[in-house]
């Protein structure tokens, strides 16, 4: 497949990354006010003809594109064109940013204060900044940061202001606008607001896309949006959304600009502000509606230590070179370019492939902290404890030395896989471990030299959010909060291990070590989990080869013409990798089980999550399920999406709701393939 | 339109002609072969005596007496040349002095054909110089090779038919003896159309139509003239002017290109807005093909008789036969002419203005040429000298209307921020189109190579295509190791209701490159890809030849190719007209 060129086989060890510089350091030594009021003269796009916000709105409203759609809508609805024009104007009014340098300065000043209290450092790769500066001058720029926190876009603008770079115009969800003053202030610092869903609304789409394109084509400002569409609550990258990416690539494909530079930005937080909030959300406690007062309630947050942030500005990617040989731009020659058209198949698959490639680029440049490794190890240990019925005994958890040793081992594996790991090599390992544990003390317990997750039992001292005397279900959910919080750190490293781990699991479920069979299993798992993880469409072969390459290189596997064999010394790695995938395998299995056994005819899209959750809680309480993290609604949604994609579940749209129709035979066979049967019941798991 | 040297039109042929326009058949003149190359450069553009050069003081001058520019010294040119290309007068790349006959392969002769040809009395030659002269057009790689004294496959013979019947005989003999014919008109091709296919093993005969250069009759009632197809543009205009007429067809190459060549490539002239392109100007075409003569039975101004067979001939690029005679529309010479020019703050405004002018007063305005370049004018207040652009204008017609339209145009221009910049600039602009080809030869003396190429594109794409192609050229040069920033510019030369013709000029200093022509070709190839990707056509009027063949299928579709192929297969099953252009 064509994706071959995009996802070429890389030797991870050859990856070269830039050094970081802490931008808070200077702030701690000089006046914040002077900083906020500094002379700000960013370099601009070479082809820029500067224009005011009002002029921009006129350009949009008078564009051929919009005129066309206005006439179309007017014909379809029978409304007068002037009225539709009014509507368009109102949409634009609601949407448009009103960037003001004074507001930006206000934010710069405030954020200085906030950042300094929250974070130890904000590290930015300066070379990336220089590349960006170059890119901004040459071509219109699109900034694509990863999205893990509300903080992301304020942080982005803050960094760009600090480095005297052009401030971006940012696509933000309409829910922010609900926050009265803050919404307006965000608007004045460059945010523009889009409705979360506007599926069939032609006019809205036309105004929106024309607005973004006008800014981009004229190089008025870098356009920033989140490829993942929303904040990832799990710290795993989300399947990219293509809407905005389609829009920003359009001017290039139609020849309206020579090229567009797309810059993936990876923002990694050592400790996420929304940590437990996310876990609760995933467990079904609905997300509080963004409100200004809610934001201030978060003030408690201000008193804690959130470690450091690493922001990596990736290599600008030229859309022109991405499209080279993949999209025939002549396809736009035969209709006027202002008439909106659905993207053709080749454009769609190009944009999709590009989106995956860009998310991969974000993943690869995401800095991993030692804690990420510790969280992975502690989670696995937690589950082993459950297995071996020592969850409450004195042997539970890991000895500090043991943890340190394992972490060092994992560090080396990680590095061999090409991870962007920031392990301070000049600090003694035991100190690295203890300081990491200290920063995340809410999630771990250290007693008698042993470390474990802060998952407490009825008898134990209460951890965060654990109320003694609560019912078993509530206790379970409280434990799940800790487990999911921890898992969100492990998830940061998932992309590093993903391909080898899929291979390890494939070997586990394959009936023999025959290479073809292992590949088939790998391919099955990869397909099954392609809504769960970032797996580039059509790159099965490359992923398999990459996994083989890494595991052979590190001496874990021997691969002959016919067979895939594990080596003696590879056992440890394989065990670690399979354990990493296990929660997902089990989660998908239990969902299949639910659909086969429990799901009623009346199951709808809306009731799916609560029903699954209820089923799982029962299973967990009865001890038939081991992994509390399967309670994550993210996993449940992804599994459903996968089953829908595979045709094992069908959607039927009714009058007021969408019902789910289960193909039991297929679901059942998927479940079997995922691992045959669920692990046998352990009667005496006295966890609760 | 263009003022020639005080001495009038230079004579290409040594033979003096007595032209009797009232008789339907002109006095038969003696045939002299091969005189053309005595006054024309063999390895560059135009007349031997006319060229740009730097004199001892290092100032540029234009030699000869033929053009208004001749004998003039242009001190600014050196600075422009040096600063644009980073070229230096110290670094010369002179052409090899004389055509090297020993480099030319001995002719492959089909003796039986030669014998039969002799018996017809049609003059021919196997002289190396004659053959080399007709083995090329004016593509960069062709001229570059000649300057280095390199010669590839050349025609084995040259024949000079002097009328339609001679051509019929030649084609019959060619079919009989299976020799390959390549029609040759003015030799100004820029599409590798005249290159001999190296794989051709048959005798290649260049059919030089230059002796078929008479106006056979003029019909004043119907305003048509019947002309032999070998006549070159300036000769045709001169002869018609003597009778008070003109064709109005003035391609940049009109000094040298021939009527038959125009028909075979679908030529276009700079005054096409008034007079039309070649396809609008022809009323009747006569072509000799291996299957016989193709022509229509009458001279009706328009017919509904199936697809117009003229359109199989127009643009056939010598693959089907030899165009021998053409009936063309003529017009009385314009009573009044006036040049003009407008300077715009930028290219965008200039293009918008051209478009507007066109929609308001089609038919009269014959303006063209936009140069986003500070070529002549730089001292207008408020205009960024790096961005301003100049439009040159030419008005023709009766005096009153010319003046009226002139005013209208300047009023429109003013709306687009344009300032009238005088008649002189306009006239100079037009003159430049004729001498610009000489400029390339100057560059080639100093490590600078370049070329122009054209496309046609809808109005809404004009600015996008200009920006993207220019940028692509710059980027490709950089990527291919060109040490100096290239000249990459463009102008709009023709306007239509639905779009415009855009010319790109591309040149660079090739010092430090081991294979400059290859680099040039790669960049031009990339530029053409970019043109097509931006909605431009493969060619507006230069034709396809062999240079742009690879894009034909995507340009006209698979079925379209099949149609063209089947015509070729019927008309010329033996591939007698084997120049392998187009298909």
Interchain CB distance below 8 Å, A330 and B472: no
Question: Which tokens is A675 given?
Answer: 């691992």
Q: Measured between CB atoms, does B473 come within 8 Å of chain A? A: no
The three-point CA angle A284-A287-A290 to 5° equals: 175
CB-based contact A53:A96 (threshold 8 Å): yes
Q: Exposed, middle or buried, A108 (CB in 10 Å: 0-12/13-18/19+)?
A: buried
Q: How far is B190 from chain A (nearest CA, A)?
A: 25
- The mean pLDDT of A156-160, rounded to a whole number, is 94
Question: B336-431 — its CATH code?
Answer: 3.30.70.3450
Is some CB atom of chain A closer than 8 A to the CB atom of B337? no
The count of other CB atoms within 10 Å of the CB of residue A102 is: 11
Q: Is the pLDDT of residue A597 over 80?
A: yes
Residue to substitute from A139, A251, A258, interface B, most B β-carbons within 10 A: A258
Best mutation target, B348, B533, B555, to test chain A (most A CBs within 10 A): B533
Give CA–CA dist A226/A264, Å, rounded. 10
Q: Are A214 and A56 in contact (CB under 8 A)?
A: yes
Q: Which of A256, A328, A330 sits opposite B464 (nearest CB)?
A: A256
Does pLDDT of A388 surpass 80?
A: no
3-state secondary structure of B158: strand
Binding-site sequence positions of B = 183-189, 265-268, 317-323, 440
A255–B535 CB contact, under 8 Å: yes
In this complex, do B533 and A258 lie within 8 Å of one another by their Cβ atoms?
no
CA distance A578 to A679: 14
Q: Phi and psi (nearest 5°) for B337?
A: -130, 145
Q: What SS3 state is found at B149?
A: coil
Say yes or no for a CB contact (<8 Å) between A255 and B554.
no
The whole-number pLDDT of residue A292 equals 56
Please calculate the CA angle A32-A37-A39 and round it to the nearest 5 degrees: 125
Instruction: Say if the Cβ atoms of B464 and A255 lie within 8 Å.
Output: yes
Q: How many Cβ atoms from other residues are within 10 Å of residue B277's Cβ?
A: 21
Listed residue (B247, B180, B40) closest to B572, CA to CA? B180
- Out of A98-107, A207-216, A456-465, B211-220, which region has the weakest mean confidence (pLDDT)? A456-465
Bind-site residues of B for substrate: 440
Nearest of A641, A602, A636, A638 to residue A617 by alpha carbon: A636
> What integer pLDDT is reported at residue A539 of this predicted model?
92
B460–A contact, CB cutoff 8 A = yes
3-state secondary structure of B120: helix
Hey, is the C-beta of B479 within 8 angstroms of any chain A C-beta?
no
Query: Which residues of chain A lie closer than 8 angstroms to B534, CB-CB?
Result: 255, 329
Contacts of A330 in chain B (CB under 8 A): 532-533, 535, 554
| Upper half-sphere CA count for residue B106 (Cβ side, 13 Å) | 2
DSSP string, A36-57: HTS-------TT-----HHHHH
Is-catalytic flag, B25? no
Element spanning A454, H or E: none
Nearest residue of A to residue B475, measured between CA atoms: A258
B530–chain A nearest CA distance, Å: 9
CB contact under 8 A, B467 and A329: no
pLDDT at residue A685, as a whole number = 29
Is there a contact between A255 and B472 if contact means CB atoms under 8 Å apart?
no
Contacts of B472 in chain A (CB under 8 A): 258
Residues of A with CB under 8 A from a CB of B: 255-256, 258, 328-330, 332-333, 336-337
Q: Is B468 an interface residue toward A (CB < 8 Å)?
A: yes
What is the pLDDT at residue B34? Answer: 47
B456 forms bridges with which residues in the sheet?
B501
Cβ separation A329–B464 shorter than 8 A: no
**Contact across the interface for B468 and A258, Cβ inside 8 Å:** yes
Q: φ, ψ for residue B307 (rounded to 5)?
A: -55, 140
Flag if A255 and B461 touch (Cβ within 8 Å). yes
Contact B554 A330 (CB under 8 A): yes
With CB atoms and an 8 Å threshold, state whether B460 touches A337. yes
Q: Longest Cα pair distance anywhere in chain B, in angstroms? A: 73
State the catalytic residue, choosing from B275, B376, B503, B510: B503
Q: Does B533 lie at the interface with A, CB-CB under 8 angstroms?
A: yes
> Which of 3.40.1390.10, 3.50.50.60, 3.30.300.330, 3.10.350.10 would CATH assign to domain B447-542?
3.30.300.330
What are the residue ranges of CATH 3.30.300.330 in chain B? 447-542
Binding-site residue numbers of B for FAD are 183-189, 265-268, 317-323
What is the predicted pLDDT for the residue at A116? Answer: 92
Query: What pLDDT sits at residue A623?
Result: 85
C-alpha to C-alpha distance for A683 and A686, rounded to whole angstroms: 8
**H or E element in which residue A264 lies:** strand A261-269
CA–CA separation, A590 and A337 (whole Å)? 50
Nearest C-alpha neighbor of A222 from the set A52, A91, A43: A43
Contact list, B464 vs chain A (CB under 8 Å)? 255-256
Angle at alpha carbon of residue B92, lines to B88 and B93, rounded to 5°: 135
Q: Which residues of B touch A256 (CB under 8 A)?
A: 464
CA neighbours closer than 13 Å in the CB half-sphere of residue B65: 6
pLDDT at A462: 40
Chain A neighbors of B532, CB-CB under 8 A = 330
Does the distance separating the beta carbons of A332 and B464 come in below 8 Å?
Answer: no
The reported pTM is 0.88
B114 vs B170: CA distance, rounded Å:
11
In this predicted structure, what is the pLDDT of residue A466?
44
Strands A169-173 and A191-194: parallel
From chain A, pick out residues whose CB is under 8 angstroms from the CB of B465. 255
Strands, E, within B346-477: which ranges? 368-371, 389-397, 419-420, 448-458
* The pLDDT value given to residue B102: 78
Interface test with B, best of A47, A137, A255 (most B CBs within 10 A): A255
ipTM: 0.86
Which of A323-361 are b and which e, b meaning 16 or more Cβ less than 10 Å from the residue's Cβ?
beebbbbebbbeeebeeeeebeeebebbbbbbbbbbbbb
- Judged by a CB distance cut-off of 8 A, whether residue B384 touches chain A is no
CA distance B88 to chain A (A): 30
Percentage of chain A beyond pLDDT 90 is 63
Rounded Cα gap, residues B405 and A365, in angstroms? 64
Any CB–CB contact under 8 A between B532 and chain A? yes
Residues of A in contact with B468 (CB under 8 A): 255, 258
- CATH class name, domain B215-332: alpha beta
Q: Which residues of chain B does CATH 3.30.70.3450 include?
A: 336-431
Highest mean pLDDT among A8-17, A39-48, B484-493, B533-542: B533-542
Q: Considering only alpha carbons, which residue of chain A is nearest residue B554? A: A330
CATH 3.30.465.10 location in chain B: 215-332
Chain B residue numbers touching A337 (CB-CB < 8 A): 460
Closest by CA to A60, choosing from A244, A275, A208, is A208
Q: How far is A255 from chain B (nearest CA, A)?
A: 6
pLDDT per 10-residue tile (average), chain B, 583 residues: 28 31 32 63 91 90 88 87 90 80 88 96 93 94 92 95 97 97 96 96 96 96 97 95 94 94 94 89 97 96 95 97 97 89 85 77 39 40 68 84 86 88 81 84 94 94 95 96 92 88 93 95 97 97 96 96 97 97 94
- Nearest CB to B468: which of A255, A328, A336? A255
**Which 3-state string (H, E, C) describes B270-307?**
CCHHHHCCHHHHEEEEEEEECCEEECCCCCCCCCCCCC
Chain B from 81 to 110: CB within 8 A of any A CB: none
B464 interfaces chain A, CB cutoff of 8 Å: yes
Q: What is the CA radius of gyration of chain B?
A: 23
Residues 434-453 of B with CB under 8 A from A: none
Q: What is the pLDDT of residues A633-669, one digit of tens each?
A: 999 999 999 999 999 999 988 878 889 999 998 998 8
Quick check: A262 and A359 in contact, CB under 8 A?
A: no
B471 touching A, CB under 8 A?
A: yes
Tokens of B518: 């290859």
């Amino acid at each position: 497949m064509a994706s071959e060129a995009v996802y070429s086989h890389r030797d991870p060890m050859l990856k070269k990354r830039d050094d970081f510089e802490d931008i808070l350091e200077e702030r701690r030594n000089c006046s914040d006010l002077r900083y906020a009021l500094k002379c700000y003269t960013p370099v601009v796009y070479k082809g820029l003809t500067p224009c005011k916000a009002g002029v921009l709105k006129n350009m949009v409203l008078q564009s051929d594109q919009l005129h066309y759609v206005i006439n179309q809508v007017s014909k379809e609805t029978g409304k007068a064109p002037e009225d539709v024009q009014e509507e368009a104007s109102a949409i634009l009014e609601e949407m448009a940013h009103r960037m003001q340098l004074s507001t930006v300065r206000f934010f710069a000043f405030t954020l200085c204060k906030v950042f300094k209290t929250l974070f130890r450092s904000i590290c930015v790769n300066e070379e990336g900044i220089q590349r960006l500066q170059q890119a901004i001058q040459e071509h219109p720029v699109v900034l694509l940061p990863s999205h893990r926190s509300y903080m992301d876009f304020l942080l982005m603008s803050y960094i760009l202001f600090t480095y005297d770079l052009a401030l971006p115009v940012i696509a933000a969800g309409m829910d922010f606008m609900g926050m009265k003053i803050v919404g307006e202030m965000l608007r004045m610092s460059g945010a523009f607001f889009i409705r979360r869903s506007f599926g069939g609304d032609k006019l809205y789409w036309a105004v929106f896309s024309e607005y973004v394109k006008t800014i981009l084509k004229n190089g008025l400002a870098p356009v920033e949006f989140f490829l993942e569409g929303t904040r990832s609550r799990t710290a795993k990258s989300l399947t990219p959304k293509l809407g905005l990416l389609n829009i920003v690539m359009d001017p290039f494909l139609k020849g309206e600009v020579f090229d567009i530079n797309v810059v993936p930005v990876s923002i990694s937080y050592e400790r996420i502000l929304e940590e437990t909030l996310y876990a609760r959300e995933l467990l079904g406690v609905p997300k509080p509606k963004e409100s200004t007062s809610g934001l201030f309630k978060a003030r408690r947050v201000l008193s804690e230590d959130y470690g450091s942030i690493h922001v990596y500005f990736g290599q600008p990617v030229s859309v022109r070179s991405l499209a080279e040989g993949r999209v025939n731009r002549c396809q736009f020659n035969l209709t006027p370019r202002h008439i909106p058209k659905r993207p053709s198949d080749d454009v769609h698959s190009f944009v999709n492939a590009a989106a995956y490639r860009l998310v991969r680029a974000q993943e690869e440049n995401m800095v991993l902290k030692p804690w990420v490794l510790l969280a992975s190890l502690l989670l696995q240990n937690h589950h082993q404890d459950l297995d071996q019925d020592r969850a409450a005994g004195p042997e539970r958890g890991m000895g500090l030395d043991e943890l340190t040793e394992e972490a060092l081992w994992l560090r080396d594996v990680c590095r061999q896989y090409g991870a962007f790991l920031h392990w301070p090599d000049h600090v003694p390992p035991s100190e690295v471990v203890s300081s990491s544990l200290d920063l995340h003390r809410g999630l771990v317990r250290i007693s008698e030299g042993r470390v474990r997750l802060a998952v407490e039992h009825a008898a134990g001292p209460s951890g965060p959010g654990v109320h003694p005397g609560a019912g078993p279900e509530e206790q379970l959910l409280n434990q799940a909060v800790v487990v999911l919080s921890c898992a969100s750190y492990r998830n940061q490293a998932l992309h590093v291990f993903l391909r080898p781990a899929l291979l390890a699991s494939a070997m586990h479920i394959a009936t023999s070590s025959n290479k073809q069979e292992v590949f088939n299993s790998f391919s099955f798992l990869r397909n099954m989990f392609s809504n769960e993880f970032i797996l580039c469409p059509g790159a099965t072969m490359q992923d398999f080869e990459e996994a083989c390459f890494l595991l052979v290189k590190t001496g874990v596997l021997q691969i002959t013409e016919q067979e895939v064999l594990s080596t003696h010394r590879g056992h440890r790695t394989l065990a670690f990798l399979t354990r990493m995938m296990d929660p997902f395998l089990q989660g998908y299995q239990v969902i299949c089980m639910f659909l086969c056994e429990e799901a009623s005819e009346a199951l709808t899209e809306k009731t799916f999550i609560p029903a699954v959750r209820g089923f799982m809680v029962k299973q967990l309480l009865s001890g038939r399920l081991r992994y509390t993290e399967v309670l994550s609604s993210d996993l449940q949604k992804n599994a459903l999406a996968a089953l829908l994609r595979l045709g094992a579940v069908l959607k039927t749209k009714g009058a007021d709701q969408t019902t789910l129709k289960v193909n039991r035979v297929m679901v059942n066979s998927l479940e079997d393939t995922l691992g045959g049967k669920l692990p046998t019941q352990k009667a005496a798991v006295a966890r609760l | 339109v263009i003022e020639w040297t005080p001495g009038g039109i230079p004579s290409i042929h040594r033979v003096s002609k007595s032209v009797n326009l009232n008789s339907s058949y002109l006095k038969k003149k003696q045939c002299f072969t091969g005189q053309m190359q005595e006054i024309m450069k063999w390895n560059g553009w135009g007349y031997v005596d006319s060229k740009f050069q730097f004199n001892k003081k290092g100032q540029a001058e234009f030699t000869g007496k033929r053009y208004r520019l001749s004998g003039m010294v242009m001190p600014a040119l050196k600075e422009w040349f040096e600063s644009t290309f980073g070229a230096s007068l110290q670094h010369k790349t002179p052409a090899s002095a004389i055509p090297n006959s020993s480099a030319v392969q001995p002719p492959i002769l089909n003796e039986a054909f030669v014998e039969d040809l002799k018996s017809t009395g049609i003059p021919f030659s196997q002289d190396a110089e004659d053959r080399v002269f007709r083995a090329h057009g004016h593509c960069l790689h062709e001229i570059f090779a000649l300057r280095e004294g390199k010669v590839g496959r050349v025609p084995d013979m040259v024949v000079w038919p002097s009328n339609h019947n001679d051509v019929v005989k030649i084609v019959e003999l060619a079919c009989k003896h299976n020799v390959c014919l390549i029609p040759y008109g003015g030799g100004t091709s820029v599409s590798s159309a005249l290159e001999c296919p190296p794989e051709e093993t048959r005798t290649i005969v260049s059919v030089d139509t230059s002796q078929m250069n008479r106006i056979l009759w003029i019909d004043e009632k119907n305003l048509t003239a019947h002309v032999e197809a070998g006549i070159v543009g300036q000769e045709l205009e001169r002869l018609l002017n003597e009778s008070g007429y003109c064709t109005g067809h003035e391609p940049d190459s009109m000094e040298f290109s021939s009527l038959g060549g125009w028909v075979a490539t679908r030529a276009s002239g700079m005054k096409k807005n008034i007079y039309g392109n070649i396809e609008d100007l022809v009323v009747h075409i006569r072509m000799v093909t291996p299957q016989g003569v193709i022509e229509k039975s009458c001279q009706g101004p328009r017919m509904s008789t199936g697809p117009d067979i003229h359109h199989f001939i127009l643009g056939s690029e010598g693959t089907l036969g030899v165009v021998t005679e053409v009936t063309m529309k003529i017009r009385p010479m314009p009573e009044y002419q006036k040049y003009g020019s407008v300077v715009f703050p930028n290219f965008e405004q200039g293009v918008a203005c051209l478009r507007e002018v066109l929609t308001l007063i089609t038919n009269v305005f014959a303006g063209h040429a936009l140069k986003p370049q500070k070529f002549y004018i730089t001292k207008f207040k408020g205009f960024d000298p790096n961005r301003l652009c100049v439009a040159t204008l030419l008005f023709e017609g009766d005096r009153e209307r010319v003046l009226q339209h002139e005013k209208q145009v300047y009023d429109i221009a003013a709306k687009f921020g344009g300032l009238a910049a005088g008649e002189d600039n306009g006239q100079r602009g037009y003159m430049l189109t004729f001498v610009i080809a000489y400029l390339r030869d100057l560059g080639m003396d100093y490590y600078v190579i370049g070329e122009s190429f054209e496309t046609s594109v809808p109005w809404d794409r004009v600015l996008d295509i200009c920006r993207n192609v220019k940028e692509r050229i710059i980027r490709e040069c950089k990527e291919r190791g060109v040490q100096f920033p290239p000249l990459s510019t463009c102008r709009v030369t023709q306007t239509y209701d639905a779009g415009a013709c855009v010319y790109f000029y591309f040149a660079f200093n090739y010092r430090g490159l081991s294979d400059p022509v290859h680099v040039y070709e790669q960049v031009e190839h990339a530029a053409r890809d970019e043109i097509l990707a931006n909605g431009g056509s493969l060619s507006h009027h230069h034709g396809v030849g062999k240079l742009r063949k690879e894009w034909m299928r995507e340009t006209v579709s698979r079925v379209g190719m099949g149609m063209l192929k089947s015509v070729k297969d019927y008309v010329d099953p033996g591939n007698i007209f084997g120049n392998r252009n187009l298909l």
